[in-house]
Amino acid sequence: MSAARLILEQLELGPMMNFVYIVGCEQTRQAAAIDPAWDVKTILATARRLDLHLHHILLTHAHPDHINGLEELLDATDATVYVNAEELDYMREMAPRYQVPIGFLDRRAQNFRAVVDNDEILIGEIPVRVLHTPGHTPGSQCFLAGKNLFAGDTLFIDACGRVDLPGSDPAKMWWSLNRRLRALDDDLVLYPGHSYGGRSSTLGDQKRTNPYMQFESADQFARAMGMGM
Ligand SMILES: [Zn+2]
């Protein structure tokens, strides 16, 4: 029995160099869009070109530059949305501040599934593991599919997401980067949420070169981020 083959497409969309990903199952042609934003027409056209059906939407977190295409994509696909349990409240809380219309959260409530750490999501026959990695936001999460790690704004190539925003927590970010992600295999391929510093890397390279993965304590990390605790 061979494992189902994974199809992966990386799209750089919008003015903030966001990466949107399409992850599909070759056997069943089911697919997920990760962080749908900026240009839903291109996301839909890419899925069509790859002969994939977007049954799932995975959210690494709820900042507007990662979800501003969510409502439109939901209306086009009726997909199931997987969001961390801790991010749902944050999304409602932040909506007025970021002027994000989220009436669709109630209108589309039946489409949303709250997930927690280590949950498994099936995209066709492809298992995707949820890694809750708080710090950038309370419900930030990474997705592990095969050897591919989709890290949102937790881990960038030689950088990390901001920890000075409402809902950010530098101590949790330290743990996520220096304990949780550092414990994963070196041969994982890192796919970040923005194209700062390139399109992909390996986790082994990041353990060696990423300055934010070199801290022994949360306290040191916070000081280096300019935020004494
Ligand atoms: Zn963000």
Say how far apart CA 14 and CA 17 lie, in whole Å: 6
Encoded tokens for 175: 């743990």
How many angstroms is it from 194 CA to the middle of ligand 1?
9
Q: Which amino acid is at 194?
A: H
Residue for token digits 């593991």?
A: 129
The pLDDT, as a whole number, for residue 1 is: 47
First to last CA, the chain: 52
How many angstroms is it from 48 CA to the middle of ligand 1?
28
How many angstroms is it from 159 CA to the middle of ligand 1?
13
DSSP codes joined into one string, 87-150: HHHHHHHHHHHHT---HHHHHTGGGEEEE-TT-EEEETTEEEEEEE--SSSTT-EEEEETTEEE
The pLDDT, as a whole number, for residue 102 is: 82
CA distances, 92 to each of 26, 31, 39, 60, 61 (Å): 36, 27, 23, 16, 12
How many angstroms is it from 147 CA to the middle of ligand 1?
23
The pLDDT, as a whole number, for residue 228 is: 58
For the chain, the structural domain boundaries read 6-156+185-203
Q: Which of 85, 74, 94, 90 is nearest to 33 (CA)?
A: 74
How many angstroms is it from 108 CA to the middle of ligand 1?
23
The pLDDT, as a whole number, for residue 14 is: 97
How many angstroms is it from 161 CA to the middle of ligand 1?
7
How many angstroms is it from 206 CA to the middle of ligand 1?
20
How many angstroms is it from 3 CA to the middle of ligand 1?
33
Q: Kindly report the pTM of this predicted structure.
A: 0.96
State phi, psi for 159 to the nearest 5 degrees: -160, 180
How many angstroms is it from 28 CA to the middle of ligand 1?
32
Q: What is the chain's pLDDT, residue by residue, as a tens digit (229 residues)?
A: 457 899 999 999 999 999 999 999 999 999 999 999 999 999 999 999 999 999 999 999 999 999 999 999 999 999 999 999 999 989 888 888 877 778 889 999 999 999 999 999 999 999 999 999 999 999 999 999 999 999 999 999 999 999 999 999 999 999 999 999 999 999 999 999 999 989 999 999 999 999 999 999 999 999 988 875 4
Say how far apart CA 17 and CA 67 lie, in whole Å: 14
DSSP-derived letter for residue 199 is S
CATH topology of domain 6-156+185-203: Metallo-beta-lactamase; Chain A (3.60.15)
How many angstroms is it from 17 CA to the middle of ligand 1?
12
DSSP codes joined into one string, 72-105: HHHHHH--EEEEEHHHHHHHHHHHHHHT---HHH
How many angstroms is it from 97 CA to the middle of ligand 1?
14
